Amino acid sequence: MRPFLRLSAILVVLLAPQLPARTFTVVAYNVENLFDLDGVSGYEDYQSARYTPAHALTKLRNIAGVVAKFDGGRGPDVLLLSEIEVDATPGAAAPDYDAILARLRGKTLDQLLAAKTLDPAVADLPAEALLLKALADAGITGYRVITGENVTAPGSERRQEIRCAVLTRLPVRNVRSHATLNARAILEVQTDVDGAPLYLFANHWKSGASDPESEPVRVANARTLRTRLDEILSSDPNADIIIGGDLNSQYNQRQRYPRMKETGINDVLGSQGNELAVRQPGRPLYNLWFELPAEQRGSDTYRGEWGTLMHLIISRGLYDHQGVQYVDNSFAVGKFAGLNADAEGLPVRWTFDGPAGAGFSDHFPVAATFKAVPDGRRDRWLALKNASEGGVTGDAVKTIDYAKMDLAGRALRPDALPAGTRLQQDEFKGRLVRVEGRVAAGSRLAVELRGETFDVWVPDEALRGRLRSESREGATMRFFGELGQYRGRWQFVIQHESWVK
């Protein structure tokens, strides 16, 4: 009888239906300055005179609309967020987000923010609590919220106004914030996936991807992260680690900007594109941008070029058959036509235009799928289809067709800004601006606008020469220009002749 019983048990196991592996999605999203409504802000645009409940409602609804595009409307199980406001008026205790949602359950966010007089208790809610409410109204629930501490490394110039946050449905084992130089603290969240640890790192490094002068700060940001990774990997070389967020670096930073002697993302962090290298004895990291053809790599735009500032980077442990495993070729850019992407396929970034504002973010989110694997085999590797070999070149840069751009729909109108608002500040960098100003005195082609002087640069030599010859000091100059800085001077860049009126 015993042999028969043993054989029967084996047959039952073999014939029983195999449950599919549990899968989940991770999304990294820079939501472009999500602020609360208490009116206390280090950014002028998010004080009460400029940022109203109507603006907040538009922004929150739009973020929720993008999040709802993942996992059939339920949203991803993990959101790695950048640019969540550091609450300038925190309460005596940490927010109890479940209690907040329960208290607000009787009304929608539309009702709460459309009231003639905003309830002070609602105005005082931190930005991430308002986002939770917007998500709940869209049927997206079940998240635990973890926010990064507002700490920076010694030598930093100032504390940060914005921070990283993680929203996750996975059980949380441990949380740490890692102070880093002149950037938001790197937020580490150790989660549990069916008993296996998964490390999540939410990042927002120093801005200025193309600037060699600021790259040493990003090198310091990368070193903060690399130091912690080495601690984890020295104990477990096959640890499951997902690094996400806005690294303000291109996936091919070293090749794209050859003047940089050392880059944070490639040289210090070790992000690379040879997918099979993860099987080697070292501690290589694979950047999921390499899952896409080069012409599809882009999550943001700046000065006419597509960039890859948003990242998901994974460790070798996500390729073995223990704990958590990457779902091959699942990486994607959250670019949704008619929602957060315009007719030209560009990000519909946030704008204060109109009584309630409009738009989403200057970044598309990026996403990837993972699954729990029950095998417990570290000696087996994920079978890959079309494994990337990691070849990169610095000149593989996607550019924008400026002639087809919807200028009127995208441009910032300075006359719509509150009196006294300066254009020469970081939050307006990269914006397309509708310019109507006076030609300034001097040898440079420049324009005076709202009491500030801007150089005017035109990459097309023939168009540049024509504008110089036609421009007379004091005359009115009308054009669309991208706002930026070059060697410390503020300037508008006219990218195409169709931008000149």
Question: Which three-class secondary structure state does DSSP give residue 377?
Answer: strand
The whole-number pLDDT of residue 333 equals 98
Instruction: Compute the distance between CA of residue 136 and CA of residue 157 in angstroms, rounded to an integer.
Output: 38
CA distances to 144, 228, 324, 325, 475 from 23, in Å? 18, 27, 9, 9, 62
| pLDDT given at position 420 | 87
Query: Three-state SS across 341-369?
Result: ECCCCCECCCECCCCCCECCCCCCCEEEE
- Does 196 score more than 90 pLDDT? yes
**Token code pair at residue 274:** 């040879």
The residues that bridge with 271 in the sheet, in sequence order, are 285
Bridge partners (DSSP) of residue 312 are 244
Give the list of residues 6+ apart from residue 168 with CB closer than 8 angstroms, or none: 77, 78, 79, 143, 144, 146, 189, 191, 200
Q: Give domain status of residue 42, yes or no.
A: yes
Contact 128, 84 (CB under 8 A): yes
Distance CA 347, CA 363 (A): 6
Beta-bridge partners for 462:
none
One domain, residues 220 and 293:
yes
Place of tokens 């291109």: 250
Residue 219 included in any domain: yes
- Asked whether residue 43 falls in the same domain as residue 103, the answer is yes
Q: For 365-375, how does the pLDDT look when each residue is reduced to its tens digit (9 = 90+)?
A: 999 999 999 88
Higher pLDDT, 470 or 428: 470
Residues 161 and 252 in one domain: yes
Per-residue pLDDT, 404: 79
Q: Does 279 lie in the same domain as 421?
A: no
Which position has the higher pLDDT, 392 or 266? 266
2: in domain? no
Same domain membership, residue 418 and residue 334: no
Across 243-254, average pLDDT: 97
If phi > 0 it is left, if psi is from -120 to 50 it is alpha, else beta; for residue 351 that is beta
For residue 18 the two structure tokens come to: 């195999």
Give the single-character DSSP code of 491: E
The DSSP secondary structure of 3-46, one letter per residue, reads HHHHHHHHHHHHHSPPPPPPEEEEEEEEEEEE--SSS--SSGGG
Write the CB contacts of 497 (distance below 8 Å, at least 6 apart in sequence): 460, 463
Question: Which pairs count as long-range contacts for 15-19, CB under 8 Å and 24+ apart, including other chains?
Answer: none
Task: Give me the pLDDT at residue 92, please.
Answer: 87
Asked whether residue 228 carries a pLDDT value surpassing 50, the answer given is yes
Instruction: Give the pLDDT of residue 17.
Output: 41
Q: How far apart (Å, rounded) are the C-alpha atoms in residues 40 and 46?
A: 8
Position 466 in a domain = yes
Domain count of the chain? 2
Rounded to whole angstroms, the Cα distance separating 233 from 228 reads 9
- Given 360, 381, 402, which residue is the final one in a domain? 381
Question: Tell me, what's the pLDDT at 394?
Answer: 59
Residue 257, domain member (yes or no): yes
Q: Average pLDDT for residues 285-312, to the nearest whole number?
A: 94
pLDDT (tens digit, 9 = 90+) per residue, 146-161? 999 999 999 998 889 9
Which residue segment(s) compose the domain that 273 sits in? 26-381
438 and 361, same domain (yes or no): no
Given a contact cutoff of 8 angstroms between Cβ atoms, the answer to whether 353 and 416 are in contact is: yes
Closest CA to 145 of 157, 155, 136, 154: 136
My answer on whether 48 and 146 are in the same domain is yes
In a shared domain, residues 92 and 144: yes
Mean pLDDT of 405-410: 84
Q: What percent of the chain has pLDDT over 90?
A: 75
Q: Is residue 227 located within the same domain as residue 352?
A: yes
- Among the candidates 381, 405, 422, a domain finishes at 381
276: pLDDT strictly greater than 60: yes
pLDDT in tens, 3-46: 433 433 333 333 434 445 689 999 999 999 999 999 999 898 89
Q: What is the CATH number of the domain that holds 472?
A: 2.40.50.140
In this prediction, residue 400 carries a pLDDT of: 82
In this structure, of 147-161, 187-201, 417-431, the range with the lowest mean pLDDT score is 417-431
User: Is 50 exceeded by the pLDDT of residue 289?
Assistant: yes
Domain stop point among 366, 381, 396: 381
Nearest to 252 by CA among 219, 294, 202, 303: 294
Asked whether residue 20 is assigned to any structural domain, the reply reads no
Q: Does some domain include residue 13? A: no
Summarize the chain as % helix, strand, coil (round to 5): 25, 30, 45
377-389 pLDDT, tens digit each: 988 999 999 999 9
Judged against a pLDDT cut of 60, whether residue 360 lies above it is answered with: yes
Higher pLDDT, 352 or 216: 216
Strand residue runs (E) in 270-385? 271-272, 285-287, 300-302, 305-307, 310-314, 320-326, 332-333, 366-381
Does 461 lie in the same domain as 355? no
In a domain, 396, yes or no: no
Same domain for 438 and 373: no
Whether the Cβ atoms of residue 152 and residue 183 lie closer than 8 Å to each other: yes
Q: What is the CATH number of the domain that holds 293?
A: 3.60.10.10
Per-residue confidence (pLDDT) for residue 428, from 0 to 100: 84
Residue 395: what pLDDT?
Answer: 52
Same domain for 347 and 423? no
Average predicted confidence (pLDDT) for the chain: 91
**pLDDT for position 396:** 64
CA angle 484, 485, 487 (to 5 degrees): 160
Mean pLDDT of 64-80: 98
